[in-house]
Amino acid sequence: MNLFGLAIGFIALAIIGLGFFWVIRGEYYFGVLWWPYILGFGLLLILSSLFIASVWGSALLGIVGASLAWGSTELKDQSRRAELGWYPVNQKPKPQPPLANKIKKLKAPNL
């Protein structure tokens, strides 16, 4: 009996569940403008998963990368949820990413 599919399914569920947590906390502490860096890091992890020889390592790296890429698109929606009062809003100033002025001009992806 091969339990690889079952195990990777449960692990993917756990990683995606953690994705919800980091999106909420990431928007609270850092804000929306970091989305291009998170998206880029997620895509880099997905791309690097192609070059991992281990099936487990490749699958896990791909799942983490996909979760980060998805989460980067959720930061804007999380900001709206916080404005609606569904989540707390951090009143402290958030750190600005490099090239913040150019990022403000970009349209954030939305899934």
pLDDT per residue as tens digits for the range 36-70: 999 999 999 999 999 999 999 999 999 999 999 99
Distance CA 88, CA 9 (A): 32
Distance CA 102, CA 100 (A): 5
**Structure confidence at residue 21 (pLDDT):** 93
Query: What is the average pLDDT score of the chain?
Result: 91
Query: Please, which pLDDT band fits residue 27 given cuts at 50, 70 and 90?
Result: very high
Q: What is the pLDDT of residues 92-110, one digit of tens each?
A: 988 998 988 888 888 877 7
Are 72 and 38 spatial neighbours (Cβ–Cβ below 8 Å)? yes
Q: Which residue has the tokens 């896990």?
A: 60
The angle, 0 to 180 degrees and rounded to 10, between the axes of the packed helices 55-83 and 4-29 is 40
Determine the average pLDDT of the residues in 66-83.
Answer: 92
Percentage of residues in the chain having pLDDT higher than 70: 99
**Structure confidence at residue 101 (pLDDT):** 86
Structure tokens at 24: 């909420």
**Structure confidence at residue 68 (pLDDT):** 95
Q: CB under 8 Å to 62, separation ≥6 — which residues?
A: 45, 46, 49
Predicted TM-score (pTM) of this structure: 0.88
